[in-house]
Amino acid sequence: MTCFYAHKMGFKTVVLSDIADAPATFVTNQTIIADYSDKDALKKFAQMIDIATFEFENIPLEAVSFLAQHVEVCPNAEVLKITQHRVLEKDFLNSIGAKTADYATSNFEENLKKFGKAILKTATMGYDGKGQFVLKAGDSLPELGSSPWILEKFCPFDSEISVMVVRSKTGEIKAYEPLTNIHKNGILDESHYPAKVSDSLKIKAQNLAKNIAEKIGLIGVLAVEMFVIGDELLVNELAPRPHNSGHFSMDAAVTSQFEQLIRAITGLPLGSTEFHSTGYMKNLIGDEVNNLEEFYKNPNAKIHLYGKAEAKAGRKMGHVNILE
Ligand code: ADP
Ligand code: MG
C-alpha cells in the first residue's frame, strides 16, 4: 500500500523481500528477492534507491544497520531496535514518563504471584497475539527455551485505542485522532472512528503519541497502541510503520497514513490528518476474504485485498473500510 501511494506521488519503488510472492512485489517498479542477511543484495538494493523504509518491524536489526551504512533509512535503526524488543520498548516508554503495564523480565513465577493475572509474551518477533500466554497465579509456565520473554501484568482495560503519529525529517509533526480497536483471538478485528472516549482523552492520547515520536526521534509514521482505564492511558505497544488500525485513513481521512509516510521521509510538508468520514475498518481474516458479497452490496464499503496466496486461519487477507 505504501508502494501504491509512492507511485501516485511520482516516486519509483524497489521492494526487498525474502518471500518471492509477497504482496508488495506485485505493485512495485522493481523487486529484489533475497535473504535479509544477504549483504550483496542489501548493497545492490542501497545502490538502486535514495531512501529506504520498512513496513514490518520483525526484520533483522543487523540488515537495517548494514543498509544504513549505504543509504538513508527512515525510521532509523535505533527506532527499530527499541520497537522490535518489548523490554527495550517498555524501558524506553517508562524512561520518558509514558505509563505501561507493570512488567518483569525474570523471576516469572514470583512475579506471576505478585501480578495475580499476567500475560507472558516473547520479547521479540511477536505479532497478532502470537507467542503469548495468559496466566494466573499458580499456573505452570510454558517451556521458555533461550529466547527472551516478558511477563506483563494483565490490564483490565475499558477499551483499546491507537493513535497514528507522523513526523517528518523537517521536524513537522501531526497526530491523527485515535480509533477504538476491537481484537478477536489477539488479532485486530475492527477499528472504529471516532474512538469511544471523551474529547479530553482524545487530546491526551494525541499528545502522548507526539511526545513518544519526538523522544524516540521518529522520521516516518508510528502507531501507539494504548489501553484506556478510566481517564488513564497505558501504552501497550509501538509500531514504527503504517499500522493496521491506520488503514481507515485510506478512505476516511484527507491524507492516508501511507501518503504521510512518503511525505515524512522525503521531507515534503505533511498532509491534513483530519477524518472527513466516520465508520470503521473491518479486517478480512482467513476465510472471511471469501465472503465479500455483503460488502460489495454496500456502496459505502471500500474493499482492499492484499493478494496473499493462501487464506490460512488467522492470516490478514485484506480489509474493508465502511463509511457511515
Ligand atoms: P501483538 O504484537 O501481537 O499485537 P500486543 O502486545 O499488542 O501484541 O497484544 C495483543 C492484544 O492482547 C492486545 O491488543 C490486547 O488486546 C491484549 N493484551 C496484550 N497485553 C495485555 C495486557 N498486559 N493486559 C491485557 N490485555 C493485553
Ligand atoms: Mg499489538
pLDDT single digits (tens) 3-41? 999 999 999 999 999 999 999 999 999 999 999 999 999
Measuring CA to CA, how many Å separate 164 from each of 49, 148, 190, 225, 270? Answer: 26, 28, 16, 9, 13
DSSP-derived letter for residue 280 is E
Residue 123 in grid coordinates: 520479547
Mean pLDDT of 142-159: 95
Its pTM stands at 0.97
DSSP class per residue in 226-259: EEEETTEEEEEEEESS--GGGTTHHHHBSS-HHH
Q: Considering only CA atoms, which of 216, 220, 92, 222 is closest in space to residue 163? A: 222
| pLDDT higher than threshold 90 for residue 129 | no
pLDDT single digits (tens) 164-200? 999 999 999 999 999 999 999 989 999 999 999 999 9
Contact 127 CB / ligand 1 (< 6 Å)? yes
Integer Cα distance of 138 and 113 in angstroms: 7
Q: How far is the CA of 162 from the centre of ligand 1 (A)?
A: 12
Nearest CA to ligand 1 atom 17: 186
Q: Is the dihedral of CA 59, 61, 62, 64 positive or negative?
A: positive
Contact 183 CB / ligand 1 (< 6 Å)? yes
Integer Cα distance of 134 and 113 in angstroms: 13
Mutate to test the pocket of ligand 1, among 87, 236, 244, 285 (most ligand atoms within 8 A of CB): 236
Contact 236 CB / ligand 1 (< 6 Å)? yes
Q: How far is the CA of 96 from the centre of ligand 1 (A)?
A: 21
DSSP-derived letter for residue 291 is -
Nearest CA to ligand 1 atom 9: 129
Measuring CA to CA, how many Å separate 279 from each of 134, 150, 204? Answer: 32, 35, 22
